Structure 1
Amino acid sequence: MGRRRKILVKAAVCLSVIVALGFLPAERKVIPVMGASFEDWNNESFWYEPWGSSGVHKGIDIFGESATDVVSTVDGTVLFSGSIVKGGNVVLVLGPKWRLHYFAHMDTTLASPLELLSSGEKIGTLGSTGNAKGKPPHLHYSIVRLIPAPWEIDNSTQGYKKAFFINPNLYLRE
C-alpha cells in the first residue's frame, strides 16, 4: 500500500471515529489532573470576572504539583496539540456529544493530532505556560459545545457565550 493511500485510510478511519463520537451516549469522565479532587479548584472560578483580556474566566483552573500527569477527561480524538500565546502548551480533544475539551498551560504535551484517546489517558504534564507563566502550576480546563444551547444565555458579562461554554464543575460531577 502506497504512502498516500495509507494516509487516506488513516484519515477516513479518524473521520469515521469523529462522526461516531458525536452520537455516543455514554461518557466516562475523569478529573484531568491525576490525584486531584474537587477541592483542588475554586468552584466559583467559572465565569468569574474580571479575568484579564478574556473578560470572564470560561473554565476552571485545577492546581497541583509541577509535572503531574494530565489526562483526557473523555474518550475522543485530538484535534490540536501544540503551543498558542495565551494557553501555552495546549491539547484540544473532540469528545462525545460534539464537545471540545480544552487543556491549557501544560508543561509538556504528549498527544498528537488525530490520535484517538481513552478517558484517563495521559496527554501531558501540569505546568504554567502561556499567560500562566510565573503562576503556580495548574491546568486550565474548558468545555465548548459545537451545537449551541441558547437556553443557557443569561445577562452576565458575555452571557451570550454561555450558549457554547459548559461549566466544568457541573460536568465533572454529573
Structure 2
Amino acid sequence: MSESAVKNIDGQVYREVLGHYPTGVAVVTGRADDGEHLALVVGTFSSVSMDPPLVSFMPMKSSRTFDRLSRCESLCVNVVGEDQQDVVRTLAKRWENKLDGIEWFASPSGDAVLADSVAWIDTRIRETVEAGDHLIVLCEVHDMAVTNPVSPLIFHRGDYGGFACSTPA
C-alpha cells in the first residue's frame, strides 16, 4: 500500500472499523526508583512466543506512566477479569498514587498483582519499538500464574464487557 493511501484513512473510520475487533484489557504494574507503585491500563496485550517466553503490550508514546514504567527493573502484567471494570476505570483516571485504595499483593519480583485478576505475568523489558503513535514493548516472561480463572475483561466497540466461551472448559 502506498504511503499516500495510508494518510487518507479517516481517524473516525479507523476507530469504528477496528472497534469491531475485541481486545483484552490488562494492567501493567511496576515500581519506580522512588518506590512508588505504578499502573498502566493497556488494551493491546498479546502472547508473542513460547520459546523463549515473550509477551508484548502497546502503550501510547505520550504516556507519562509508561515513561516511568520503562525504567523499572521489572513489570507485572495483570490480566483483569470482567468484574474489574471499576478498578480499570479508576486506574485509567488517576495521574498518581494509582493503587491507593485498590487491593493487591506482590508478585515474586515485587510488582503489584491486582486482587481478583485472572492471571499475572512477571516480565522484564527486552525491546521497545516505535510504531506510529504507540510503542511495541516486547517483554521476557520470568514467572506467571492463573490466580482467578474467570472470564477476562474485554474492550469492544468503545466499551468494556465480558467474554463467554461457547463450549464448557
Structure with the larger RCO, 1 or 2 (CA within 8 Å, 6+ apart): 2
Same fold (TM over 0.5): no
Query: TM-score, length-normalised on structure 2?
Result: 0.24
Between Structure 1 and Structure 2, the one with more helix by share is 1
Judging by fraction of residues, say which structure has more strand. 2
